[in-house]
Structure 1
């Protein structure tokens, strides 16, 4: 018989061990939220579907199992049960609507990149034991290889990156004297679009893998910016296009270990030549008041791809090793660091 851990109390005045640890150790509730997001239950309830039998029919699930999941979430403040087997949205559940501006439903969807990313942590033990990423042990192939062979998931990854606050870097750098920016590993061009829109005299080149660049071409065309951008579908470990005034690396280096990150920077330095610059945009390891977020992301990058978060000093050391000299460092309002470098 499986006993309820929550019923085990040490005494009547002290919280039980489960009450102390459950808020940080419970896996049932986080997975239940992700299942609810994947099934789009909040969307259905917002359309007036509330009976568990109808919810099960619409989601092609088992009604008894779905009812148990919803009742568990209701007990944890997600959804309400105004009548037996009838469920409804509350303020917390409303965050799981697909049209909510917070975008949490897609982030939790187990069929999208965010959900697949979270599942990798079921084998965190592998990473702690070996020091290597766990993505392959869960999904069958290393992170970047997995994305390269799964176009649907790659598109989901691109979409999640396009929503990043790193687009704030578009206004955190002085583009006055820049005529040609080359966005290296620029995804679908979300940041590049903001730069081009704000600086009508700048031309650009978007560098990323072929499928991603194709989506970037479509994005920039939709913004009316496609005629000011060239597209290079390639690995950024291959020789980069030359002739750029600025080689931009936004949220790229943290995906890689020090050796690979240095190689990427060295490639940018070589392409920049004597007159170009290399601009790094990453999370600031020592900025802001949330060291917990930095610690989480540092662990997350290792588990996913073997990368790491870094301090400004760490990035400057990488730049030096790649033949670059740091000339300016500034921080955005969203806690990003923008590091301006020139070839030595």
Structure 2
């Protein structure tokens, strides 16, 4: 339980691209070390440990990836590379766990303590991190999208604003299933541009709008629903309240605020809960915590639907709207 050798060896292997480089007949340690400009002695130590894990196997001339190791290749679509690669958003963020004691002591994120700026500022400063984070979000929802779309009566809402909607994957799936809904996505400029491409690829341009902006600023007003999908758990209570406040002030009087994310004691994972703390200073809240946050802005929880094995939908209405 105390060993860090295996998790770090996997991360270094993926960062060096070993699963991709060792396909087919594989390669010798010496050739790999020359290509990668790393120490051949140290690389041999890494490969030997990866062999004990079944990631690679020895050959007469060196090492090659096993079928299991090949699942760590780039382009497999399983999202593992992003979470392991130390120069991608997910893998970089995971190292915030090194500062977990700080997070437990203070309740604050460990990410800024490790990297000198918070996660979101890091994405802004390094566009390749922003790109890999957007892809991470797409990978996270891919398998669950059909159940998210089928698990709620989205047809109730003539217009949906997807707040912090990323590259538009979730909203596009909803609009594709419900031809009468108009969608409006709000996100920061680089991600908003990707959302436009997503909607164009799905031929949804006539039913979509994209606004470049932050969910801490005023949102497009008058929609029948404001969707927050995997947003609030990234933020502490102060910032979560600000996001909900923007949704409440923008919503049509009979509008709804829909929160889709893991919920504590229902569909939350304890390990992911600690990740939210260490990376963002957030957490996966319980129903009563959501109810309390929303009540500060005149939002009343109408119901909770378990959409998938990982996420619930919390349906809020404006107080007095019935």
Same fold, judged at TM 0.5 (above): yes
Answer with 1 or 2: which has the greater Rg. 1
Residue pairs, 1:42-53, within 5 angstroms: 42-53=19-30
Q: Residues 85-234 of structure 1: matches in 2 within 5 Å?
A: 86-165=62-141, 167=145, 168-234=147-213
Task: Give per-residue Cα distances to partners, 1:131-156, cap 9 Å, x unaligned.
Answer: 21111121221122222222211111
> 1:273-298 CA deviation, whole Å, 9 max, x = no partner?
3121111101132225xxxx622122
C-alpha distance in structure 2 between counterparts of 1:123 and 1:341, whole Å? 35
Q: Paired residue for 1:35?
A: 12
Distance change (3 Å), C-alpha of 1:175 and 1:128: closer
Give the structure 2 partner of residue 57 of structure 1. Answer: 34
> CA offsets, 1:17-65, max 9 Å, x none?
xxxxxxx221122111111111111112214332112222333323222
Paired positions, count: 316
User: 1:248, CA displacement in angstroms?
Assistant: 0.5
Alignment of 1:331-342 (within 5 A): 331-342=306-317
**Alpha-carbon deviations, 1:285-331, whole Å to 9, x = none?**
2225xxxx622122111111111111222212222222111222210
**Per-residue displacement from partner, 1:66-121 (whole Å, max 9, x unpaired)?**
111101221233311133x6112224322212243433223211111121011212
Task: Specify every segment of 5 or more residues in structure 2 that has no aligned partner in the other structure, as ranges.
Answer: none
1:333, distance to aligned residue in structure 2 (A): 2.8
Instruction: Please say which of residues 137-146 and 179-188 is displaced more in the overlay.
Output: 137-146
Tell me the residue number matched to 1:74.
51
The SS at the match of 1:333 is coil
Aligned to 1:269: 248
SS at structure 1 position matched to 2:73: coil
Query: CA offset at residue 158 of structure 1?
Result: 1.0
| Secondary structure of residue in 2 paired with 1:163 | helix
Q: What are the ranges of 5 or more consecutive residues in structure 1 without an aligned counterpart?
A: 1-23
Aligned to 2:295: 320
Relative distance call for 1:101 and 1:273 in structure 2 (3 A) is closer
Pair 1:26 & 2:3 matched: yes
Deviation at 1:262, TM superposition (A): 1.8
CA shift at 1:157, angstroms?
A: 0.8
Cα deviation, residue 247, structure 1: 0.5
Query: Partners in 2 of 1:118 and 1:297 — Cα distance?
Result: 10
Q: TM-score, normalised by structure 1?
A: 0.86
Aligned to 1:306: 281
Change beyond 3 A, Cα 1:340–1:224: same
| Counterpart Cα distance in 2 of 1:98 and 1:335 | 25
Residue 230 of structure 1 deviates from its aligned partner by 0.8
Match for residue 6 of structure 1? Answer: none
Per the normalisation by structure 2, the TM-score is 0.92
**Maintained 8 Å contact 2:78/2:139:** no
Aligned counterparts of 2:75 and 2:132: Cα–Cα separation in 1: 17
Q: In 2, Cα distance between the equivalents of 1:215 and 1:277?
A: 26
* Aligned CA distance change for structure 1 residues 106 and 256 (closer, same or farther; 3 Å): closer
SS at the partner of 2:288?
A: helix
